[in-house]
């Protein structure tokens, strides 16, 4: 799973979040929300250990995710762009007056679905390449998290790898089951096609043998 954690916030007020693994990423994310400099729109990334916190702030709404460093930048920022658009489209101006976690019950499911999509579906990156909307990501600098958090305030990032492996195992089993079903249906269709072809061959042979004799009398 490339993207492990995500949230949507207004300032430091978290409106929705979801985590794929057992982790304290939410505590670190809140520290980042409080320390992001300025009020302007921004794209920024902070690294800690083997993970990177990617942040997109637009029109006062902040979308943040934590991803494995192997995910690069393009996919996480495509995810953030998608989540920002979905959130604004769903809630409109209500985001500026919502209470903490006011949208969590509903939107955490969207976060979960899109995290899995951008983490495992190759079409996510292919679509992003076709759109060409993430050119600004190339200019995003990945800074060490120490630059935004004081060393004394920084928390050690804890990620339960066992939970992550279990999630990967579940997805593998799901994909394997889907593959088996696809192969089974393909075999069924092939078998039906062979039976139809065999019936056609039998019919042609009977018609050839019974040449000169009416087919109905031949078949009686």
pLDDT digits (tens, 9 = 90+) for 31-59: 888 887 667 888 888 888 789 999 999 98
Residue 123 has pLDDT above 70, yes or no: yes
> Are residue 143 and residue 181 in the same domain, yes or no?
no
Q: Which two tokens stand for residue 170?
A: 């579940």
DSSP three-state, residue 140: coil
Q: Is residue 154 part of a domain?
A: no
pLDDT digits (tens, 9 = 90+) for 149-201: 554 555 555 555 554 545 555 455 555 566 667 777 888 888 888 899 888 88
Residue 112's pLDDT is: 95
> Are residue 22 and residue 107 in the same domain, yes or no?
yes
Cβ-proximal residues to 48 (8 Å cutoff; 6+ apart), any chain? 28, 144, 145, 154, 157
Residue 81 has pLDDT above 80, yes or no: yes
Residue 215's pLDDT is: 47
pLDDT digits (tens, 9 = 90+) for 111-122: 999 999 998 887
Whether the Cβ atoms of residue 54 and residue 67 lie closer than 8 Å to each other: yes
Q: Is residue 158 part of a domain?
A: no
Q: CB count, 10 Å around CB of 22?
A: 13
Distance, CA of 100 to CA of 10 (rounded, Å): 9
> Are residue 143 and residue 57 in the same domain, yes or no?
yes
Name the β-bridge partners of 45: 54, 142
Distance, CA of 45 to CA of 73 (rounded, Å): 9
Q: Is residue 166 part of a domain?
A: no
> Are residue 142 and residue 192 in the same domain, yes or no?
no
> Are residue 20 and residue 108 in the same domain, yes or no?
yes
- Among candidate residues 169, 172, 149, the one with its CA nearest the CA of residue 30: 149
Locate the DSSP E strands across the chain: 3-10, 13-19, 42-48, 51-58, 61-68, 142-144
> What CATH number has the domain bearing residue 83?
3.30.450.50
Q: CB count, 10 Å around CB of 40?
A: 7
> Are residue 82 and residue 126 in the same domain, yes or no?
yes
Distance, CA of 137 to CA of 54 (rounded, Å): 11
> Are residue 188 and residue 129 in the same domain, yes or no?
no
- ∠ Cα 90 140 26 (to 5°): 55
If one counts the domains in the chain, the total is 2
Q: Is residue 157 part of a domain?
A: no
For 22, the domain range is 3-147
* Mean of per-residue pLDDT scores for the chain: 78
Q: pTM of the full predicted structure?
A: 0.64
Residue 97's pLDDT is: 92
Q: Is residue 165 part of a domain?
A: no
- Among candidate residues 118, 133, 115, the one with its CA nearest the CA of residue 8: 115
Pick the last residue of a domain from 125, 147, 169: 147
């Amino acid at each position: 799973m490339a993207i492990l954690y995500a949230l949507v916030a207004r300032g430091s007020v978290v409106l929705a979040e979801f985590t794929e693994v057992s982790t304290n990423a939410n505590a670190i994310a809140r520290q980042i929300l409080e320390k992001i400099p300025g009020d302007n729109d921004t794209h920024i990334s902070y690294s800690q250990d083997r993970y990177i916190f990617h942040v997109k702030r637009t029109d006062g709404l902040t979308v943040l995710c934590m991803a494995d460093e192997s995910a690069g930048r393009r996919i996480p920022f495509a995810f953030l762009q998608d989540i920002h658009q979905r959130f604004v489209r769903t809630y409109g101006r209500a985001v500026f007056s919502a209470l903490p976690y006011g949208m969590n019950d509903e939107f955490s499911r969207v976060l979960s679905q899109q995290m899995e999509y951008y983490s495992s579906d190759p079409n996510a990156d292919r679509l992003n390449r076709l759109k060409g909307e993430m050119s600004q990501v190339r200019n995003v600098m990945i800074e060490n998290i120490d630059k935004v958090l004081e060393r004394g305030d920084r928390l050690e990032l804890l990620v339960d790898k066992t939970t992550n492996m279990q999630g990967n195992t579940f997805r593998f089993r799901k994909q394997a089951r889907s593959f088996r079903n696809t192969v089974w249906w393909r075999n069924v269709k092939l078998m039906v096609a062979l039976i139809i072809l065999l019936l056609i061959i039998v019919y042609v042979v009977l018609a050839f043998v019974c040449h000169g004799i009416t087919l109905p009398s031949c078949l009686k």
